[in-house]
A and B are shown apart, each in its own frame.
Chain A
Amino acid sequence: ETGVTQSPTHLIKTRGQQVTLRCSSQSGHNTVSWYQQALGQGPQFIFQYYREEENGRGNFPPRFSGLQFPNYSSELNVNALELDDSALYLCASSLGGSTSYEQYFGPGTRLTVT
């Protein structure tokens, strides 16, 4: 079990609403990545934050945004929710700048958009 935690565990939203998901990284890790995993698919990279700055982004529209705080915890915000946003959202923490780049994943937040 990793030290990465995510909240909430499950969430149900209506199309058009906004949602904020939260992630606490493993102690000592300064990098947080967010992934979206649709049913039956592998996780897809959304973006990464390194020392509070966005440091790479996948093929996701601007309505997916994020923040990283001084304690390296992070938020994922999704505006104008669409039905296709229903997925498991995973965050992963790692120690950027080191020679060890294993990412440690949290248990995920299951988002359902109706």
Chain B
Amino acid sequence: DQQVKQNSPSLSVQEGRISILNCDYTNSMFDYFLWYKKYPAEGPTFLISISSIKDKNEDGRFTVFLNKSAKHLSLHIVPSQPGDSAVYFCAADINAGGTSYGKLTFGQGTILTVHP
């Protein structure tokens, strides 16, 4: 049972435009969400996160939106740059008031390609 799903295996955008990566989850116990970026043959690196008490978190060009009623989150990258080309994973955790062991559940990933 895939509790975190990224239904778009790939996304292609033009440099300077907005990239929107989507993620859906089914487990209503999830209360903390993260996005990781991964280059080939490397480990993922943390990008941005959001707690379920918020509906938006922004860090420079990256913004994550959370819609709890729809069990949906999205990552917006504005403006997109060729260096953003990578695989993006969303992940979810049951933080339960700060007692998480970090047992993250990951989506399948979306390959983002930003064309110059």
B is a partner of A: no
Interface of B toward A, CB cutoff 8 Å: none
